[in-house]
Amino acid sequence: MAQKSFTEQAWDIFNQSIADYHKTDNVDAPLNNPFAEGTIEATLYHKNWIDTVQWHLEDIIREPSISAEEALKIKRRIDASNQDRTDMVEEIDTYFREKYADVEVKEGAKINTESPAWAIDRFSILALKVFHMAEEVEREDASEEHKAKCRGKLAVLSEQHIDLGTAIEELVQDIASGEKYMKVYRQMKMYNDPSLNPVLYKKK
């Protein structure tokens, strides 16, 4: 049997994380990462777990009857989650940068508009979209019209899964061969930093 590509392995890991989360469907459920600490598999699983919890926090905060106090609490939790998500993306990019550190970059090599990890970030979110759209297709209380619309959307998402996976594989192969090179810019988010957010530093 042929060895799975990186994106095929990542997709399997993302779906394992999503399935594990939905065993309890609880945003406060603890992370029980089944992969060895320090491996790329563990990082991918953790990354998707953060995305999955945040997906459901975004659902909860849109409850019309939610109190302002609870909404603010969740909004701040989402902000923290976004920072964690960014940290995990940078960890994935570190993996690629170290893996291909010794590759000789060819003359005329080009830089990509996004790093491999930010494309993988979109891949992780796509796995969540596919999972939840498939749920809508199977909803017993939904109308046939609703299900038909969702089937159409699911078909588009499935096509996107193939296209994005292919694009990521091609990018990684180009980096491995020296046709493209990585240049990672740290996100430098400002709103979480008390020294950069004027609302926070002006309070001092």
For the chain, the structural domain boundaries read 6-191
Q: pLDDT by residue for the chain (204 residues), tens digit each?
A: 678 999 999 999 999 999 999 999 999 999 999 999 999 999 999 999 999 999 999 999 999 999 999 999 999 999 999 999 999 999 999 999 999 999 999 999 999 889 999 999 999 999 999 999 999 999 999 999 999 999 999 999 999 999 999 999 999 999 999 999 987 766 656 566 666 566 556 666
pLDDT of residue 196: 57
pLDDT of residue 178: 96
For the full predicted model, state whether its pTM sits above 0.85.
yes
Pairing state of beta strands 110-111 and 180-181? parallel
Q: Residue 138 CA to chain centroid, in angstroms?
A: 24
Answer whether 58's CB lies under 8 Å from 71's CB.
no
The interaxial angle of helices 6-21 and 116-137, nearest 10 deg, is: 50
pLDDT of residue 3: 87
Distance CA 60, CA 27 (A): 10
Answer whether 49's CB lies under 8 Å from 32's CB.
no
53, with CB counted inside 10 A (0-12, 13-18, 19+), is buried
Provide the H-helix boundaries in 62-143: 68-99, 116-137
Answer whether 168's CB lies under 8 Å from 120's CB.
yes
Alpha-carbon separation of residue 85 from 10, 44, 122 (angstroms): 16, 11, 12
